[in-house]
């Protein structure tokens, strides 16, 4: 065990925002530091470009919130004991309508496990398969053993619970739209980004951040690793354009020009750019000829030959509010400079979460294609993926199934299962393609108002066709849900129109609700029984920074050094809280499947050792050395061979990148041929064959992508006159969704995140233009009601020029739900801005969300 100069023990651990050294004295964490590489760790990469050498700092530039970990671990909101709602009596009246108001009393673990086991048995025996529902929050901790795809899937798979499928909430439009155009189903609709950092440093002349704020959203898990990449590009004189409704934190130091199209109209701006290129002949005609399918049909639409009006910059000015001449100037500059289109910072972006955001994502691919996507310096590149790395070295991502080895519910690809970590891979009888499903956005309707129908199941990592399959709830032969075992409490903050959630919880249609949670927040306070879990600083695990394989292969190329961390148990679990694995094991014991769940009594540390053994780590380091050091930096192969993403496609060659998908047969095998994408035609489909086959008349997602005005925007006259502010709710700058917000965390004190008012509460921030504020008599820092027909949320106003007139900006995902009256029916002062956003699907046949199509009014709060 390493010791600090001050005599503390020094542990290693990893978070959603990067790896940390953890200092402990007398069983208490005293402070954390970002992991710093030593001289004996693997060398850093060096990229030579334009006469300079670029090499990253030899430390983990972790996310800001990761540094607040100590305030989150020692939070007064920690649940330290099992709790039972005071008026919950499973033998008599359950008083479901009192969920959220009646309060809790401490009970023993024995009593809690008794109640839970009896309820599971009762529900199973009374109603049959599918009656127990489960779903976890994401990203509250890190690791391949204790995380949800691992321990939870193992347990819930054996239990045969119905699973609430997660939707791709950060990149909806790419998943439900772009996938039909360029394939990449095994990457959930997102293209690979191999070696694009080097390509950009060598060749790019412009970066356009379109609906993208990489300084804030970090390529999901990359912390602040890529800030230096953008600084280098800036030093090289690469021009940078920001298109976003907020003068965001990337614009701050990097924008040479800021465009702020009205929310929901980004596609119109893109169409007008295409119009300039088509009419001025400034696109890569040869590339389009070789690599595009259906281009002429789409061209006819843009030129107005199909619907009678051309998509000119003057037309786009009326839609977007951006001056026509500036749209033309941008188009011309783009045509003359090699441009990296950073559309969405992890190929997400707010525009892909608007009404018909599918079309925006498709237009981004179209524009990039028209300028030779894949040629040197010309690509879709987020500026936070694509560091040189060793891609042969196998270490699993957290979404590959872990100790469950559940391959079906790994979102996309997986290698882990083939390595044999467990003797008995789990296959659930309910959470299975032939079983029962519920899409997350539609959960309250499924519970309160069945039956329901929709298309697509969660993450469709198999093929675009997977999205198109029809589902219903309840599924034939399965029970309706009667019991909900929720893990965590984030959805009131992260889903849409979330008073629906509160109403669902307060309904007797859910006979029993148990919440397994670390903190008392959000939905946890609506449960009948609460099981206290602990953080990954209080148990053993193993994980790699930013490796989310199972969702996105090789996503760790968002960080500068592949870093695999032994997540050591730094302290004992606080109070009577337990590791999730131990909670599941205890319940399994009551229900009689302890041996099966724990594979004969394995502890978390035993699983960590097993997992270590099936990775490539033992080829480089012994368990003993790994345990002593606490981490391993994967060395680069020598010599390093650079294979920029889509270069092979642009050059009509076989794919030479380390990407291992697609994995299936049939259509998906074609890409192994020369230069083919995983689409039906092998080309970029301006007319999507999969959508044409599915429904050529689906005007909400037509085979040829179009600009479709929002159902909640400036064209919806009646609503717009009542609620004249267009609200956008991007992913937050200072927390990871609800994680690190609330909890009396230090993050609350950041005035861009929350503002402390006279009553001692920290209020959620909403940004509005000074002219809008003046009209309403609102001053900076005032408490305001943000409202529409769906809800009222009390926020602190930030009066700014960083948001245009007629718009409002507030980050989604607050952890705190604090209604001032009846839950579900009264204003929330916690800041759950998603109480206001619509829950309509992004497109009628795609069950994604569109929170950025939201109209509100704001008034000064008077009390």
Partner 1 sequence: MAKWGMVIDITKCNACYSCFIACKDEYWDNDYPPYSAAQPRHGQFWMDLVKKERGVCPCVKVAYIPVLCMHCDNAPCVKAAKNRAVYKRPDGIVIIDPKKAVGQRQIVDACPYQAIFWNEEKQLPQKCTFCVQRLEQGKIPKCVQVCPSRALIFGDLADARTDVAKIVASRKTEALDPGRKAKPRVYYLGVPKLFIAGSVVYGDTDECAEGVSVTLTKQSTGKSTKTSTNNFGDFEFDGLGAGKYSVKFECNGYKGKTVAIDLKTDKYLGAVDLTKRR
Closest CA to 286 of 369, 212, 184: 369
Q: Which tokens is 189 given?
A: 């609709």
Distance CA 838, CA 729 (A): 12
Shortest Cβ 365–partner 1 spacing (Å): 25
What's the alpha-carbon Rg for the chain, to the nearest Å? 26
Closest CA to 54 of 192, 205, 199: 199
Shortest Cβ 34–partner 1 spacing (Å): 6
Any catalytic annotation for residue 551? Answer: no
Distance CA 527, CA 483 (A): 11
Quick count: other Cβ atoms within 10 Å of Cβ 420?
12
Distances (CA, A) of 400 to 192, 347, 549: 18, 21, 6
Compute the residue count for the chain: 863
Structure-token match 């100069």, residue found: 5
Distances (CA, A) of 120 to 160, 505, 587, 588, 596: 11, 18, 10, 11, 18
Shortest Cβ 650–partner 1 spacing (Å): 26
Backbone phi, then psi, for 280, in 5-degree steps? -100, -5
Shortest Cβ 808–partner 1 spacing (Å): 13
Q: Among residues 41, 165, 169, 582, which one is catalytic?
A: 169
**Element (H or E) spanning 455, and its range?**
strand 452-455
Backbone phi, then psi, for 795, in 5-degree steps? -130, 170
Shortest Cβ 327–partner 1 spacing (Å): 10
Structure-token match 């609460």, residue found: 530
Q: Among residues 398, 471, 557, 817, which one is catalytic?
A: 398
**Element (H or E) spanning 135, and its range?**
strand 132-136
182, 456 contact by CB (below 8 A) = no
Shortest Cβ 81–partner 1 spacing (Å): 22
Q: Which residues contact 13 (CB under 8 A, 6 or more apart)?
A: 19, 20, 22, 536, 537, 565, 567, 568, 570
Any catalytic annotation for residue 166? Answer: no
Shortest Cβ 560–partner 1 spacing (Å): 11
Strand ranges for 524-562 from DSSP E = 529-532, 541-544
Shortest Cβ 775–partner 1 spacing (Å): 15
Between β-strands 631-633 and 563-567, what pairing exists: parallel, antiparallel or unpaired?
A: antiparallel
Q: Which CB sits closer to partner 1, 315 or 734?
A: 734
Q: Which tokens is 482 given?
A: 């009667």
Q: Which CB sits closer to partner 1, 394 or 746?
A: 746
Shortest Cβ 591–partner 1 spacing (Å): 41
Distance CA 410, CA 844 (A): 26
Give the CA angle between residues 588, 491, 809 to the nearest 5°. 155
Q: Which CB sits closer to partner 1, 229 or 398?
A: 229
Q: Which CB sits closer to partner 1, 182 or 734?
A: 734
748, 742 contact by CB (below 8 A) = yes
Any catalytic annotation for residue 169? Answer: yes
Distance CA 176, CA 359 (A): 9
Q: Among residues 23, 65, 124, 139, which one is catalytic?
A: 139
Q: Helix (H, G, I), strand (E, B), or coil: what is residue 858?
A: strand
Residues that bind partner 1 (CB under 8 A): 5-6, 30-34, 57, 59, 61-62, 64-65, 67-71, 215, 223-225, 227-228, 231, 247, 249, 252-253, 256-260, 323-326, 328-330, 332-333, 733-734, 744, 746-747, 749-752, 769-770, 800-805
Give the CA angle between residues 692, 698, 702 to the nearest 5°. 60
Between β-strands 762-769 and 783-787, what pairing exists: parallel, antiparallel or unpaired?
A: unpaired
Q: Helix (H, G, I), strand (E, B), or coil: what is residue 827?
A: coil
Q: Which CB sits closer to partner 1, 90 or 781?
A: 781
Shortest Cβ 257–partner 1 spacing (Å): 6
Which residues form the catalytic set? 139, 169, 398
């Amino acid at each position: 065990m390493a010791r600090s100069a001050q005599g503390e023990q020094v542990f290693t651990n990893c978070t959603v925002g990067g790896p940390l050294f953890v200092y402990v004295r007398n069983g208490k964490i005293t402070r954390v530091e970002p992991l710093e590489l030593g001289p004996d760790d693997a060398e850093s990469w060096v990229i030579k470009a334009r006469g300079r050498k670029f090499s990253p700092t030899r430390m983990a530039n972790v996310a800001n919130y990761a540094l607040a970990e100590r305030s989150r671990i020692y939070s007064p909101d920690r649940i330290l004991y099992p709790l039972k709602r005071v008026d919950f009596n499973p033998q008599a009246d359950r008083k479901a309508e009192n969920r959220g108001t009646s309060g809790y009393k401490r009970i023993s673990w024995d009593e809690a496990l008794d109640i839970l086991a009896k309820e599971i048995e009762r529900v199973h025996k009374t109603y049959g398969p599918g009656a127990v529902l489960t779903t976890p929050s994401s990203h509250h901790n890190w690791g391949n053993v204790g995380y949800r795809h691992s321990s939870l899937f193992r347990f819930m798979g054996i239990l045969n619970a119905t699973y609430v499928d997660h939707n791709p909430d950060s990149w909806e439009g790419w998943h439900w739209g772009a996938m039909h155009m360029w394939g990449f189903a095994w990457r959930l609709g997102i293209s690979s980004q191999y070696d694009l950092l080097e390509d950009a440093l060598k060749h790019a002349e412009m970066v356009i951040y379109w609906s993208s704020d990489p300084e804030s959203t970090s390529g999901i898990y990359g912390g602040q690793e890529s800030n230096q990449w953008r600084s280098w590009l800036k030093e090289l004189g690469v021009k940078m354009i920001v298109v976003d409704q907020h003068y965001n934190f990337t614009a701050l130091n990097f924008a040479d020009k800021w465009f702020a199209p009205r929310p929901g109209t980004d596609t119109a701006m893109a169409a007008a750019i295409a119009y300039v290129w088509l009419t001025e002949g400034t696109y890569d005609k040869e590339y389009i000829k070789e690599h595009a399918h259906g281009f002429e049909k789409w061209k006819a639409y843009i030129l107005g030959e199909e619907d009678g009006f051309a998509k000119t910059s003057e037309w786009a000015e009326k839609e977007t509010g951006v001056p026509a001449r500036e749209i033309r100037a941008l188009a011309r500059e783009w045509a003359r400079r090699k441009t990296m289109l950073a559309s969405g910072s992890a190929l997400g972006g707010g525009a892909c979460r608007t009404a018909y955001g599918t079309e925006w994502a498709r237009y981004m691919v179209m524009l990039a294609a028209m300028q030779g996507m894949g040629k040197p310096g010309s690509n879709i590149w987020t500026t936070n993926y694509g560091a040189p790395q060793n891609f042969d070295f196998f270490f699993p991502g957290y979404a590959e199934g872990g100790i469950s080895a559940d391959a079906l519910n790994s979102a996309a690809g997986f290698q882990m299962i083939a390595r044999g970590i467990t003797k008995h891979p789990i296959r659930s009888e309910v959470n299975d393609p032939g079983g029962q499903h519920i899409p997350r956005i539609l959960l309250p309707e499924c519970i309160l108002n069945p039956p329901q129908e929709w298309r697509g199941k969660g993450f469709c990592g198999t093929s675009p066709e997977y999205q198109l399959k029809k589902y219903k709830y309840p599924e034939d032969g399965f029970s309706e849900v009667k019991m909900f075992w929720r893990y965590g409490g984030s959805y009131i903050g992260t889903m849409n129109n979330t008073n629906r959630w509160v109403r669902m919880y307060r309904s007797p249609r859910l006979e029993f609700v148990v919440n397994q949670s670390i903190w008392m927040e959000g939905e946890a306070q609506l449960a009948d029984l609460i099981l206290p879990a602990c953080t990954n600083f209080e148990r053993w695990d193993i994980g790699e920074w930013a490796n989310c394989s199972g969702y996105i292969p090789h996503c760790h190329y968002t960080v500068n050094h592949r870093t695999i961390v032994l997540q050591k148990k730094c302290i004992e679990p606080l109070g009577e809280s337990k590791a999730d694995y131990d909670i599941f094991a205890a319940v399994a014991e009551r229900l009689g499947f302890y041996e099966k769940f724990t594979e004969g009594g394995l502890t978390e540390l035993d699983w960590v050792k097993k997992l270590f053994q099936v990775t490539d780590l033992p080829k480089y380091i012994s368990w003993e050395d790994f345990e002593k050091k606490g981490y391993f930096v994967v060395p680069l192969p020598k010599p390093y061979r650079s294979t920029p993403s889509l270069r092979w496609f642009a050059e009509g060659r076989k794919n030479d990148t380390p990407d291992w998908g697609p994995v299936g047969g049939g259509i998906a095998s074609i890409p192994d041929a020369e230069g083919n994408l995983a689409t039906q035609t092998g080309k970029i489909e301006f007319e999507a064959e999969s959508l044409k086959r599915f429904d050529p008349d689906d005007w909400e997602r037509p085979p040829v992508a179009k600009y479709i005005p929002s159902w909640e925007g400036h064209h919806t006259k009646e609503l717009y006159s009542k609620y004249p502010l267009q609200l956008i709710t991007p992913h937050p700058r200072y927390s990871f969704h609800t994680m690190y917000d609330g909890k009396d965390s230090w993050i609350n004190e950041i005035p861009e995140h929350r503002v402390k008012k006279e009553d001692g509460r920290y209020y959620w921030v909403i940004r509005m233009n000074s002219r809008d504020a003046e009209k309403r008599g609102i001053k900076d820092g005032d408490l305001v009601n943000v409202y529409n027909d769906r809800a009222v949320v009390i926020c602190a106003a930030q009066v700014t020029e960083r948001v245009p007139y007629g718009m409002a900006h507030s980050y989604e995902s607050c952890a705190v739900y604090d209604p001032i009256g009846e839950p579900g029916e009264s204003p929330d002062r916690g800041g759950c801005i998603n109480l206001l956003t619509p829950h309509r699907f992004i497109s009628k046949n795609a069950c994604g969300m569109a929170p950025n199509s939201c109209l509100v009014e704001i008034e000064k709060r008077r009390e």
